Structures are given as structure tokens and as C-alpha cells.
Structure 1
Amino acid sequence: MKVVKSMRSVFTLVKYNPKLMADLKTLTPLEKYLIYELSNPDVGTSFSDDYVQRIIRQLTKKYGDFIVDTATIEIEHASEETEDAIYLAIKETLNQKGFVDYYNDNPFKLTQEEINMIEQEIERYKNKD
């Protein structure tokens, strides 16, 4: 008799505003970071620095809501192989509709190079005050 562990996996896919996605390559690393953090469907994030609030207001004015739709996939009591098959089938279908896996395939997640650039960008914003 094979025992299947009682497992539960949750995957979150989001659909970003099409205008925001069209401008993705023109966004600065700091803007991408703020959008990534503020669009986290599982955690509420806020920033208190004035210059950050100013950037957020500009982004919100230009793009409106960053996320226009969200899908949460919960898979329970499945073997790893079955879970992978279910997830990939759903993910592929939702990718065709413009969704991305928030944690694994997010286009706003920064590269190490972009992370390093943020400090310089923050200094520029602070010096504008």
C-alpha cells in the first residue's frame, strides 16, 4: 500500500496591467522593485519615505492598478508528479491569458545588477528634495 502525504501547495498567478507590461523595459530598477513589492497578492506592503511615496503616486497616476486579475491555485493530496502536471497545465493556459507566476516568473523581480543600481537611484531621488 502506497501512502500519499497530505500535502497542499498554493501557487499565485497575477495579470499585470497591459500598459504597465508594455512599458516594462523603460522602468527603472527602483520602479520595478516598488511595483513588485506593492503588487504582492499575499502581503500588504507600504513605504513611508517621501521620495518613495512620490514615485508610487507617479506610477499609480500613469498606470492605475498594477494588477488587473489574480488566480490562486491550490492543489491538495496529489503526488509531486500529479501536482506538477496540474500546475503546468493551468499555468500554460493562464500564461496565454497574460498571467505570470508571481513568485517564480515575475518580470518585475530584479536581477542582481538591478538591485545594485537601486542605491544610486535612491540617492538621486533623495538629492531632488
Structure 2
Amino acid sequence: MDTFPFNADKVSISGKADKAKKAVIGGIKPGEFTGDGGKTISLSGQLLPTRIGGLTELDIADTMRKTGEVFPVMRGDGKRLGNYSIKSSKETHKELERDGIGFVVNYHLVLDQEPDETPHSPDLVNDLLSVFELF
């Protein structure tokens, strides 16, 4: 996501571990680690649609949420964070203009990590070459 005109001014990343709880008599249920529970990324920011735009990008994000599209997420320094889908979105319009669009639009997106769906093929190089008809 580019920072212009769709800027994010706050990012929060949280992770969790999955545990299976087992019933025991007379004590706290012990948990058995069953794997990585994935991460959640929360993005929020402010748009000024009448000045610099951003509503088109917000609509694209909402369409991605509706369709459950999985997409790669990369931090600004180039570090790949994994594949994510948009779990929820919220927009708040303030200081409404004549057309009903806010002069200021605050948004909040929550992304859920998805499994890495990178294909693992022993002939990956040959497959790529055949796709581009270079071999």
C-alpha cells in the first residue's frame, strides 16, 4: 500500500500461539502447543479525499475484504511479512462536504495472516522457463 494518497499513520502487529486445552480434575486446564496461530496487522490512518484523494484505494481495500483476496504484505523497508487477507474495515467520515463525503476520513483495517501458498516444485526453474517460452 503506497503512502500517497492512502497514508497509514499507525500500524500494530500482534501474534498468537495456538494451544489445545485439556480437561483435568481439580486444576487449571493445561494447554498443549499446537502451532503458530498467525499474526494480525492493524492499519489506521486519515484521508483527505477532497484535497489528495484516497477513497478509490479505500474502495479497493473493501472489495478485497468482500472477496477474501489473499495478498502479500511487505514493510516499507522491503521485509516480507507474509500473506494476509482483510478481516475487517471501518471508515469514519468527519466534517461532511455537500456531496456527503467527509473532508476527513479516518479508516481502520485489520489483516489476518494466511498460510504461505508459495508453490514448491522440484522443477520450478524449468516450469518458469516454459511459461515464458525461453527454454
Same fold, judged at TM 0.5 (above):
no
> Which fold has the larger relative contact order, with Cα–Cα distance below 8 Å and residues 6 or more apart in sequence?
1
- TM-score (structure 1 length as normaliser): 0.24
Greater percentage in helix: 1
Name which one, 1 or 2, has greater alpha-carbon Rg.
2
Identify the structure with the greater strand proportion: 2
**TM-score with structure 2 setting the length:** 0.23
